[in-house]
């Protein structure tokens, strides 16, 4: 008869996996992707190295999961800010400000998510979430077109350009530890102007 895991065993495995991902997240936030290893993650999670490999086949798979969960958290926060009532210009401003302030508040993690060289599997996740960011901003542009608040433009192209500008504008400040708060209002003003939103 085939072995079937009990509920208790599955819950224990799930808890261990969650602890491993949380430990990896914390290490990336402190040291970046390059500064982490499976051995360090195992030590931080208080499990054997073999236990990490039972849940993830390699470092790339583990950190792809870290990237996925971390970036989704950021996308959700920006989406919530953008969904609050207001003009499209106000919603765009909130979205950009939320993106930038959260990145600068955790610069090492944000740099790893946005720009640090990573394994191909992690890079694939980065591209997936770049598309999610683009979709979010394209939705705002489409709302502005529908309401007449923004001039005629292709929402997808404009959103991709805005997301690219946001990431590029933050790379150097993040690399320097996030200590350049003046970037936030400048970046917000640039994005809203470039999309044609009234201030």
Which range of 52-61, 79-88, 111-120 scores highest in mean pLDDT? It is 79-88
DSSP characters for 147-170?
HT-S-S--HHHHHHHHHHHHHHHH
Q: What is the pLDDT of residues 94-111, one digit of tens each?
A: 999 999 999 999 999 999
Average pLDDT over residues 118-141: 93
- For residue 7, pLDDT beyond 90: no
Residue-wise pLDDT tens digits, 161-173 = 999 999 999 999 9
Q: How many CB atoms lie within 10 A of CB 193?
A: 12
pLDDT at residue 159 in the model = 98
The pLDDT, as a whole number, for residue 3 is: 59
Average pLDDT over residues 23-46: 93
Mean pLDDT across the chain: 92
Confidence of residue 2 (pLDDT cuts 50, 70, 90): low
For residues 70 and 128, the answer to whether their CB atoms sit within 8 Å is: no
4 band by pLDDT with thresholds 50, 70 and 90:
low
pLDDT at 35: 86
CB-based contacts of 178-181 (< 8 A; 24+ apart in sequence): 178/103, 178/104, 178/105, 178/106, 178/107, 178/110, 180/104, 181/104
Mean pLDDT (whole number) for 178-192:
89
Rounded mean pLDDT, 75-91: 97
Is residue 1's pLDDT more than 70?
Answer: no
Q: pTM to 2 decimals?
A: 0.88
pLDDT of residue 14: 84
* Position 29 confidence tier, pLDDT thresholds 50, 70, 90: very high
pLDDT at residue 13 is higher than 90: no
pLDDT of residue 37: 92
């Amino acid at each position: 008869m085939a072995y079937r895991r009990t509920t208790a065993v599955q819950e224990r495995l799930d808890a261990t996996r969650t602890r491993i991902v949380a430990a990896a997240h914390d290490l990336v936030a402190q040291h970046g992707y390059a500064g982490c290893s499976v051995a360090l993650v195992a030590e931080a999670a208080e499990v054997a190295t073999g236990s990490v490999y039972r849940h993830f086949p390699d470092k790339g798979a583990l950190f792809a999961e870290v990237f996925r969960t971390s970036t989704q958290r950021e996308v959700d926060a920006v989406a919530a800010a953008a969904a609050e009532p207001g003009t499209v210009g106000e919603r765009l401003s909130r979205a950009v400000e939320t993106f930038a302030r959260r990145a600068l508040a955790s610069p090492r993690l944000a740099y790893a998510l946005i720009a640090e060289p990573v394994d191909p599997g992690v890079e694939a996740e980065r591209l997936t979430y770049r598309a999610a960011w683009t979709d979010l901003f394209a939705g705002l542009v489409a709302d502005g077109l529908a309401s007449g608040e923004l001039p005629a433009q292709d929402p997808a192209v404009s959103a991709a350009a805005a997301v690219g500008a946001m990431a590029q504008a933050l790379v150097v400040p993040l690399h320097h530890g996030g200590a350049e708060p003046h970037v936030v209002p400048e970046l917000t003003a640039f994005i809203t102007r470039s999309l044609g939103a009234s201030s």
